[in-house]
Structure 1
Amino acid sequence: MSMATSLPSVYEPGQVENKWYEYWRENNYFAPRPDLEGKAFSIVMPPPNVTGSLHLGHALDNTLQDILTRWRRMQGYNALWLPGTDHAGIATQARVEEALAREGLNKYELGREKFLERVWEWKHLYGNRITQQLSLMGSSCDWSRERFTMDEGCSRAVREVFVNLYEKGLIYQGDYIINWCPRCHTAISDIEVEHEDSDGHLWHIRYPLEGEDEFIVVATTRPETMLGDTGVAVHPDDERYQHLIGKKILLPLMNRVIPVFADDYVDKEFGTGAVKVTPAHDPNDFDMGLRHGVEQIAVIDKYGFMNENAGPYQGLDRYACRLQVVKDLEAQGYLLKVEEHRHAVGHCQRCDTVIEPLVSTQWFVKMKPLAEPAIQKVLDGEIKFIPERFTRIYINWMENIRDWCISRQLWWGHRIPVWYCQECGEIICSKEDPNHCPNCESAELKQDEDVLDTWFSSALWPFSTLGWPDKTRDLDFFYPTTVLVTGRDIIFFWVARMIFSGIEHMGEVPFYDVNIHGLILDAQGRKMSKSLNNGIDPIEVIEKFGADTLRFSLITGVTPGNDVRFHWDKVENTRNFANKIWNASRFVLMNMEGFEAIKPGLEELSLADRWILSRLQLTIAEVTNLLDKYDLGEAARRLYEFIWDEFCDWYIELAKPRLVNQDNPRERLVVQNVLRDVLVDILRLLHPFMPFITEEIYQFLPAHSATIMLDPWPESKEELIWLAEVEQMQQLMQAIRALRNIRSEFNINPSILIKAIMVVPDEVRRQVFMDNQAIIKQMARLEQLELLYELEKKPEQAVSALLSLAEIYVPLEGIIDVEKEIQRLQKELKAAESDLQKAENKLNNQKFLSKAPPEVIEKERSKAGEAINRKEGILQRLHLLKK
């Protein structure tokens, strides 16, 4: 690709990013080396929903993966980041059904085959949207290996796994209580239920003992389910109810006789200590019902209406039934009291409908035999969670895992590979579609109507995407994958299932490291949601600020496993950072005339040269170490500080006089080489974080290669670290900052050169300042610097700064009008005191504190803190002027 000779004056991401992404893809730079030799590094992308669109969670997750992949690729690893999408059974089917409804159709009118044709059409029409958006982020994944959970290879892997588990007795069909969504009309797993705290009630109901005048009082949040009660349970150690265990109760409204029994599950402290038992509509009651052999009576159907077992309430919506049941209980004298009660209510993650626990015939995976080795591999350290605290969360969940309901009452998905013979009832589980019954030879076979849970196929993702069940070169080289990068919210959804699936079917763990990141919250710390209307569209950010800016702003402040807040000021700061890099690079390129690559001798390197080369080597080591530990946010922060504070604000400024020194062309060549070498390594270090701007700048530098993304990652060179010079430079910088602060605090015009006196008792340190007076004078805008061993008399009208190694005095006579400056500062003091008083008045107002949102109160606290700091600073400056 041909390049111009100098950088444009302004960085325009829109003119750069697409150009470079297409260049990388056209040259196949994202693919691993075809020899499949050397050190392997591999990541499988958590597959986003095929009909979804990019959100900030995707943006963060994929930025982290891209940073790791680009970094390892530059380190010489044969790196593969394998992309793909998930068929998202419930979500995708719902989208297509909504589209059909707009046409006045439903899936039943089309039939299963025609409906699936429409879903595939939808997938082909919209399925590439999110992958195109991921490309806009700069994702360096190997698109030639892109997979889909329902492509031919993944579908074959799903069948292989199902049949293998079925033949081992680890997949079975049974009647069990499951989470049912009355709107999606399908079972959903425990981890697809989102529990939201809701304001509700606790109804206390009298249940009369059969043939006696005594009552037992139960408390419930769902009185409509009492119609299906088949028992009342108490704790075996609860003295209040010992005499009732084994007796019979007459169920109010239904006049059904049910037993009282004792069970350790009951919490003596909750409610009345007695609980109604509805085995068909509560998972804990279901377990108790099995233990005590009581009947299961379902009273709510799959649409959320009361069924024939609900007696006179049949046909009512479950919530209408609740109102009627409460009304009837009160009328008949059974309702003792009603309390307000806030409790967690389960909602379908897909449609937000309140889920209904129902007993249903479903397919399950027997989890205990699969969970045990998956726990052990983590305990043995074969799989490491980063941060480590998520290990305990994973193990706790796996130790208490229930059997996994894997069947879904949908049409879109991997259909369960089980057929039923219509003649003899034989059940056939097969990897290939059978054409006759092996028992009676009948061709009258009917396949199971259900499909598999979407997570069943994504559990196989680390090996199905690499070609399993075939023994492929990719599978042999890249499995186990190196690291999984994912959010903390899907440890149970996906991570745990991949671990036990990999161990069971591959005989090896699916990955060695699990890098867990947090969620992206809004500036107030709230989860982003449609209801709050607080979501941020990453594509809009990219269009306005560029992908590099979005990427870097997302990972700034990220620590492994912790949530991070999205702030627009972080985006603005990162845009400024990109402009800073651009302008610094323009300066370097504009001063490359006559450049010749040389290796300067040690004696030719100035203190500033040795300092920046040392700091570069130390930064390389720090950033590499942080990336090794997956602390990408801290690595980004260290880079930011080195580039902005040290290279741009210090070294470039120190280099300027030497670049224009016509008397010493060799010195110009030395500084050109240092500038160029440091800038190249900066661009290489920054490339995984900000790939586009670094490639653009790199291509303008002398002696560049075809692409920076295949350049070697910088390695810290010990021979280029001079710690003594670093310490000396830090001392100079401390003095310069003190002088700059004085200039700033007293509004000394930058064009005015000032005088300074430095008292340095230590002879060695004083010599350092003596030898580098030129640096201090240049950077602090001094016309004169006097260095003393001790001070005989303090200069008149001088302000001072006390450092660890020196005292600094700046005489202000003739530079500022002291009286006017005092008057100005006194006005500032009044304004600061006024701001402080206003903030304190609000913070001392109980009415304000009780009604204002937390973020508004925090803002006032921040104002008060700022006003206090301003006031203290002004008082200090006034004290110096009045001395």
Structure 2
Amino acid sequence: MELPKEYNSNQSEKKWREYWIKEKIYSFRPDSKAKTFSIDTPPPTVSGKMHLGHAFSYSQQDFIARYQRMKGKNVFYPWGFDDNGLATEIFVEKKTEKIAEHMSRDEFRKLCLENTVEVEKEMLASWQSIGMSCDWDLHYRTISKEVQAISQKSFLDLHKAGRAIRKKDTTTWCVKCKTAIAQAELEDAEKETRFVYFKLDVEGTKDKITIATTRPEMMPACVAVFVNAKDSRYKNFVGKKAVLPILNRTVPILTSDIADPKKGTGAVYFCTFGHYEDVEFFRTQKLPIIEILNTNGTLNENGGPYKGVHIKKLRPQIIEDLQKLGRVEKIVPLRHVVNVHERCGTDVEFLVTNQWFIKYMDLRERFLKAGEELKWYPPHMFHRLGHWIKGLKWDWCVSRQRYFGVPIPVWYCKKCHAEILPDEKELPIDPLKDKPKGKCPKCKGTEFEPEKDVFDTWFTSSLTPEIATSLLGKAFMQKNIPMDLRPQAHDIINFWLFYTLAKSIILHNKLPWKNTMISGYALDPKGEKMSKSKGNIVEPSAVLAKSPADALRFWAAGSVLGEDLPYQEKDLLTGHKFINKIWNSSKLILPQIIENKGEEAKDLRAVDRWIISKLNNLIRDSTEAFDNYNFSKVKRDV
């Protein structure tokens, strides 16, 4: 057997990819007596193409999968797509130039299904192109009927346990996506704004009280003005009423420690609700709520003269109106951090709406303990989870006012408003299409209102251990949870990892996995995070058009697990040269192996024994490093 003079990566990689798939080289073998090593493979969101960050982190988890096979283990390494939820909706809307709210839910769901099936084929080819060694026959989609049934069953179990509750409460809201969102879906964004100082009349006097705010547009929702009881400037104002300009409505002047005499003017106008702090403070007070926002961000009838104006456009308009009345004392430019929706970057608002929540605030200590029981690679990543759990402010809002998602399996009795849930055997169901079996158990009513909302995509993807292992049946699932490994990137610790951990503890009182490996970001050559807005995204397809997949994986192996790594073409060139060295070495050694027919050499020379000793040391050190997920050390040593 003689190898070609030069290594042709295009031909060779294509040949072996096809061979692996055809011969099912990486298939899991349920009947094998070898020890199972199970991986909770991250299902990529169906929202476009594979990006370099995917190639980076998925290559790293594949290093571990291949290493475990080398140790003789039967590796359970399934594949899936997270193809429901807002990210997929946005992708389909852009791709088809059709808007969900302009269609019936059924029509839009069909549109999403058609387009996700199409793009998933392209995405699958992309992941296979980087040399992933998954069992491609063990495959799931989070929108499939089977997964919908698993998701809905978890809801029934949570409801039975008293953890799934529906209530009317203040919720974080995205006015662009027109849906409630959870705390984990918020991002901090630093933005330019203005600190506006404007005067209110004190009713029955000639006095005025000046407030300073970054959100003058919330004035129609103002319910009180607060001053500090120790602030002598406002001693005579307490108990009186302030008159809101333009609206000519009065609000009480009260005392509270939320008014800091050293901040702004020391007087705070309290609105329902301009900030998260307003929501928390409101829970301690006996104050009315004035709801001014519609779900699309426009003001309702409580907005007075501003009814119909979008909240984003109202700020400059209300400042101009206050200036015309001579009410503005000064405006100070300011940079501050605001919460935005991580999907679209829109500033969030707070609306009072009916939503489904998973009640878990009382379990934070249990979640922390469970997180500590996990083996973290690298260990310091646990602190990110710990900070997140300690900073939880609300129960988990899981209902979404969207279209392409798993339906919440509930009907409401029109007569007594009781919640009607299906039997587990009926799952999956869609309340908009299906009807309850029988009468209302409380009032014997026969007319029902279907739940229109769908689950947040994380409610379903937090079940991937059950979803993946159930591909081989219930017995396999029960035997193999906790799974051996959850690989994922650090940016979704507070999403995917936390929600999976929380649901596993609530529903099963056990860990979903034994180990978790956390990867970093792939950065641009200057060390900055890649984004479309910056125009610095590097497409893996463009990289693979010039370099072998193994060179890309060589680059990915250069990062210490958990650390971010800039993309440098020189690293791929180094990887390409290394591949050629392996090829040339193989050309030298292979004929000798064939000639010796695999027999063990005798009468070794000193130099031979030295080389074998070095090899054994390398094997020992590499094994230890791989056992600790330290693949970058293996790369350096080799």
TM-score (norm 1): 0.67
Amino acid at match of 2:379: E
Residues 45 and 81 in structure 1, CA contact (< 8 A), matched pair in contact too: yes
CA distance in 2, matches of 1:542, 1:228: 55
- Partner SS, residue 230 of structure 1: strand
The offset of 1:459, in angstroms, is 0.9
Q: Is 2:399 aligned against 1:396?
A: no
- Partner SS, residue 39 of structure 2: strand
- Which of 549, 552, 570 matches 1:550? 552
CA distance in 1, matches of 2:363, 2:564: 31
Equivalent residues in 2 for 1:292-311, closer than 5 Å: 292-311=285-304
Amino acid at match of 2:437: N
Equivalent residues in 2 for 1:152-163, closer than 5 Å: 152-163=145-156
The offset of 1:597, in angstroms, is 4.1
Residues 158 and 507 in structure 2, CA contact (< 8 A), matched pair in contact too: no
Residue 157 of structure 2 corresponds to 164
Residue 57 of structure 2 corresponds to 61
The offset of 1:498, in angstroms, is 0.6
Residue 623 of structure 1 corresponds to 622
Residues 52 and 129 in structure 1, CA contact (< 8 A), matched pair in contact too: no
515-524 or 29-38, larger mean C-alpha shift:
29-38
CA distance in 1, matches of 2:576, 2:187: 37
The offset of 1:72, in angstroms, is 0.6
Task: Go from structure 1 to structure 2 and tell me whether the alpha carbon gap of 1:427 and 1:476 turns closer, same or farther (over 3 Å shift).
Answer: closer
Structure 2: state its 5+ residue gaps: 430-435
Structure 1: state its 5+ residue gaps: 640-883
Write the deviation string for residues 585-606 of structure 1: whole angstroms up to 9, x where unpaired.
Answer: 22223556743544445x6322
Residue 505 of structure 2 corresponds to 503
Residues 503 and 509 in structure 1, CA contact (< 8 A), matched pair in contact too: yes
CA distance in 2, matches of 1:236, 1:482: 58
Residue 92 of structure 1 corresponds to 88
The offset of 1:229, in angstroms, is 1.1
Equivalent residues in 2 for 1:242-253, closer than 5 Å: 244-253=237-246
Residue 539 of structure 1 corresponds to 541
Task: Go from structure 1 to structure 2 and tell me whether the alpha carbon gap of 1:315 and 1:67 turns closer, same or farther (over 3 Å shift).
Answer: same
Structure of greater Rg: 1
Residue 329 of structure 1 corresponds to 322
Residues 200 and 209 in structure 2, CA contact (< 8 A), matched pair in contact too: yes
Residue 613 of structure 1 corresponds to 612
Residues 502 and 510 in structure 1, CA contact (< 8 A), matched pair in contact too: yes
Residues 178 and 283 in structure 1, CA contact (< 8 A), matched pair in contact too: no
CA distance in 2, matches of 1:335, 1:412: 46
- Partner SS, residue 438 of structure 1: coil
Amino acid at match of 1:260: I
- Which of 465, 479, 493 matches 1:462? 465
Task: Go from structure 1 to structure 2 and tell me whether the alpha carbon gap of 1:144 and 1:327 turns closer, same or farther (over 3 Å shift).
Answer: same
Amino acid at match of 1:201: R
Residue 517 of structure 2 corresponds to 515
Amino acid at match of 2:45: N
Residue 570 of structure 1 corresponds to 571
Equivalent residues in 2 for 1:89-488, closer than 5 Å: 89-99=85-95, 101=97, 106-107=99-100, 110-234=103-227, 244-265=237-258, 269-379=262-372, 382-401=373-392, 402-430=394-422, 431=424, 432=426, 434-439=436-441, 440-467=443-470, 472-488=474-490
- Partner SS, residue 143 of structure 1: coil
The percent of aligned pairs where both chains have the same amino acid is 32
586-595 or 497-506, larger mean C-alpha shift:
586-595
Task: Go from structure 1 to structure 2 and tell me whether the alpha carbon gap of 1:175 and 1:446 turns closer, same or farther (over 3 Å shift).
Answer: closer
CA distance in 1, matches of 2:266, 2:553: 54
230-239 or 61-70, larger mean C-alpha shift:
230-239
Residues 36 and 477 in structure 1, CA contact (< 8 A), matched pair in contact too: no
451-460 or 155-164, larger mean C-alpha shift:
155-164
Amino acid at match of 2:14: N
Write the deviation string for residues 334-382 of structure 1: whole angstroms up to 9, x where unpaired.
Answer: 2121111011233333233333332222211112134332212234xx2
Residues 178 and 187 in structure 1, CA contact (< 8 A), matched pair in contact too: yes
Task: Go from structure 1 to structure 2 and tell me whether the alpha carbon gap of 1:508 and 1:268 turns closer, same or farther (over 3 Å shift).
Answer: farther
CA distance in 2, matches of 1:574, 1:239: 71
The offset of 1:471, in angstroms, is 6.6
447-456 or 140-149, larger mean C-alpha shift:
140-149
Task: Go from structure 1 to structure 2 and tell me whether the alpha carbon gap of 1:121 and 1:594 turns closer, same or farther (over 3 Å shift).
Answer: closer
The offset of 1:268, in angstroms, is 5.6
Equivalent residues in 2 for 1:643-792, closer than 5 Å: none
The offset of 1:570, in angstroms, is 0.9
The structure, 1 or 2, with the larger RCO (C-alpha pairs under 8 Å, 6+ apart) is 2
Residues 306 and 315 in structure 1, CA contact (< 8 A), matched pair in contact too: yes
The offset of 1:538, in angstroms, is 0.8
Amino acid at match of 1:540: A
Task: Go from structure 1 to structure 2 and tell me whether the alpha carbon gap of 1:289 and 1:572 turns closer, same or farther (over 3 Å shift).
Answer: same
Task: Go from structure 1 to structure 2 and tell me whether the alpha carbon gap of 1:633 and 1:235 turns closer, same or farther (over 3 Å shift).
Answer: farther
Q: Count the aligned residue pairs.
A: 626
Amino acid at match of 2:553: R
Amino acid at match of 2:620: A
- Partner SS, residue 155 of structure 1: helix
CA distance in 1, matches of 2:169, 2:454: 18
Residue 813 of structure 1 corresponds to none
The offset of 1:267, in angstroms, is 5.5
Residues 414 and 448 in structure 2, CA contact (< 8 A), matched pair in contact too: yes
Task: Go from structure 1 to structure 2 and tell me whether the alpha carbon gap of 1:267 and 1:479 turns closer, same or farther (over 3 Å shift).
Answer: farther
